[in-house]
Amino acid sequence: MTVVECAGTGRARGRAHGEQARDLIHTTLARWRDGTSAHSRSHLAATGLRAAVEAAVPDLAEEMRGIAEAAGVPFAEILAYNFMDQQWWVHREHLELGCSVLGRADIDGVFLAQNMDLPDFMDGSQIVLRVRPEAGPEALVLTSAGMIGLTGINAAGIAVCVNALGMLRHNRAGLPVAAAIRGALTATSRTEAVEFLHGISHASGQHYAVADARGFHGVECSSASVIASCLPGSPVLLHTNHPLANNDIDPDAEQELQRQGRIADSRVRLDFLETSVRSVRDRTAAERLLGDRTAPLCVIPGHDRRTQTFGAVAFEFGTTAPTARFCLGLPNHQPWIEPGWKTPPLHNEPSA
């Protein structure tokens, strides 16, 4: 299984996901249970995170219900699995940051690409959701079976990539990152997507890179503030896992990440991107760079950490329909796939 087709209402989309990926969801959740604490899993479903999803993006709450129903697993478990980042920050489980984002905009077009680095027990659960809601653009979303999304692009030509910023303050009653990504992907313009991210309360510190055919807008989000990290007109967008603009720092999280060497690792990857991006002129070169192990951008688990590159995405924009490519695993080890679009891509004038 590679692409899971999800169409209709939120509940219908979730049921389609749960039916098509039922066996993989069961395997994925079994590995997640083995790799996390029972206390954190039960606590997450009882926080204000669920209420935040139901208030801001109720159809995504229904989508999670549909996944649970069709897969035959408890709704509370699907909720907790979708609140992955909050399990990291609230309970300090698998607090090993990853994810590197790079984008470039010039006269030849725009691309946005990233590695998604996650706990190693999630490897093998990679799928792409093709989301076709009752209203709004089709979307292609990299995710784990049972989860509503990690990063993606829609047929209106709006892409959203994300990096965890564990140093920033968190909010146990904010909107979880998976719901924020999918909410932004309902937008038909970059301005609309960025306004959505400014208008919600964020559950965890994150950097969101929003791209269209004219370029980028990057925002760093904490529980108290949303600060621009990359403004429209910037020719390059680069980000790893430390904040560049937002100073709403959680001192305890910062101290722990410093002790683990995760902030130093993030700075090394950003320095490498800044040096390498001069030679990365197109999406193909970006895909090659994501597989680099010099810095490394591509993460392989070792005895001292349990994180690895879960997958990668590369999105390209121009005068034609946006191109969406996905690697379900380690770049340079797994092939890149291009699912294509089922519905005619929208050709709205991109926002400035």
- For the chain, what's the residue count? 352
> Which amino acid makes up residue 6?
C
Residue 349 lies in a domain: no
**pLDDT the model gives residue 300:** 77
**pLDDT the model gives residue 240:** 96
**pLDDT the model gives residue 222:** 95
Residue 182 lies in a domain: yes
Domain residues for the domain of 238 are: 3-337
Which stretches in the chain have pLDDT values below 50? 349-352
**pLDDT the model gives residue 40:** 75
The CATH number of whichever domain residue 209 belongs to comes to: 3.60.60.10
Distance CA 273, CA 267 (A): 10
Residue 350 lies in a domain: no
**pLDDT the model gives residue 349:** 47
Residue 346 lies in a domain: no
Residue 55 lies in a domain: yes
**pLDDT the model gives residue 238:** 97
**pLDDT the model gives residue 283:** 92
Task: For CA atoms 123, 125, 128, 133, give the dihedral sign.
Answer: negative
Number of domains in the chain: 1
Residue 342 lies in a domain: no
Residue 258 lies in a domain: yes
Residue 334 DSSP class: B
Cα 334 to Cα 188, 215, 331: the distances in Å are 31, 28, 6
Residue 90 lies in a domain: yes
